[in-house]
A = this chain, B = another copy of it.
Amino acid sequence: MAQAPPADKRRLILDAAIRVFARQGFHATRVSDIADEAGVAYGLVYHYFSSKDEVLNELFIERWSLLLAAIEEADKTAASPRQKLGAVATFIFDSYRHDPELMKVIIVEVTRAANSFGKTHLEQIQRAYESIAKIVADGQESGAFRGDVAPMFASMSFYGAIEQLLSGWIFGTIPASASDFDQARDLLVTTICDGLEPRG
């Protein structure tokens, strides 16, 4: 007979938090909302986490380390710089495709919340920018990329563009019909690598 899975209450709470944070935003969610959503008692949240902040921090760290790994993974391959950037974009867009609620939380409540959690995790966030910048710099050295754009500038532009597109989908600014993620990835990489102007 099927047994109820061993209720990992900690995970339960974390997953509930994703849903509530995504739905209401971090500030607007009370700890009791998380507990209710998880179906556990109020105090249990504090049994596993030292504060409401801690819950979000954990969510971010968990996810962001995957991104960092993915970028470095992409950088290690023999692919062209363009392909590497494509891989990075793919990873991020796929993350959104697979868990839009979590990505919404990460972006809206951490990455772009520069005065609160963004500040806390600035170092980790910056590490991603720098890893992307390294891909650009390598591309410039190999001649694949033009040399007159500072790598960090290119990196920030690239990442900023990605986040803006995600925000657009998250908040309905970009029509959902355009949300074919593979196409989005191609368009973005094309724009950044080839530019908007047609080649001679």
Contacts and interface: CB of A to CB of B under 8 A. Distances in A.
User: Which size bracket describes the interface of A in this complex?
Assistant: 35 or more
Centre residue among A25, A114, A139, A167 by max chain B CB count within 10 A: A114
A157 B197 contact: no
Centre residue among A27, A152, A165, A191 by max chain B CB count within 10 A: A191
A59 interface: no
Interface string A123-161: 001100100000010010001111011101110111111
A52 interface: no
Contact of A198 (B112, B146, B170): B146
Contacts of A198: 143, 145-146
B114 A188 contact: no
Contact of A146 (B119, B170, B196): B196
A193 interface: yes
A174 interface: yes
A184 B153 CA distance: 8
A66 interface: no
Nearest to A194: B195
B149 A116 contact: no
Given A160-B162, A161-B156, A190 B116 contact: no
A48 interface: no
A79 interface: no
